[in-house]
Amino acid sequence: MHANPNGRTHVLLPGGAPVASGAATLASGRFTVGCVCSDDAISAVHAYLAEHFPACMVRDLHAPTKLMREGVLAGYRDYHVMSIAADAPSHVVLLQEFLAEPLPAVAANMCRWDVAHALRVHRIVIVGRDRVTSL
């Protein structure tokens, strides 16, 4: 299990499916990746999603790669994915260029671009520095 300085650890299965933190072992093919994304930006997005999807569980993940870091399979760090468990699962892909924006811009843009509506319509959306797009 690898934790990052901000204390958030993402546990992934090959293919990107999150598993319970205590269940991760390299021997079983499961691995972890420490998240280095901005805690404040991630918290702001979680707050936005909790407001718009109050009955849903939100999970964080980074897609896996075949890249090894310190002997452990690593995840992509260019983006952060939040999976919203609802009747039909939805996923918001947060590009690092968006997460690097000043905190007020992160919160304001989630509202201004109506990311919740885009998630309900498209199920998978990508949030960049200057817009939200569907996949």
Residue by residue, pLDDT tens for the chain (135 residues) are 333 334 444 444 444 444 333 333 223 344 444 567 788 999 999 999 999 999 898 888 876 666 666 666 555 667 888 999 877 789 999 988 999 999 999 999 999 999 999 999 999 999 999 999 997
How far apart are the C-alpha atoms of 1 and 62, rounded to whole Å?
15
Q: Is residue 18 part of a domain?
A: no
| 6 within some domain | no
Q: Enumerate the H helices of 1-135 as residue ranges.
A: 39-52, 96-99, 103-112, 115-122
> Looking at the domain assignment, is residue 115 inside a domain?
yes
Distances (CA, A) of 83 to 25, 32, 61, 94, 135: 22, 17, 8, 11, 14
Domain of residue 75 covers 36-134
**What amino acid occupies position 40?**
D
Residue 113 lies in a domain: yes
Is 24 inside any structural domain? no
Give the whole-angstrom CA distance, residue 55 versus residue 60: 17
Joined together, the tokens standing for residue 119 give 């998630």
**How many domains does one find in the chain?**
1
Position 25 in a domain: no
Residue 11 phi/psi, 5° resolution? -105, 130
pTM of the model: 0.70
Whether 96 is in a domain gets the answer: yes
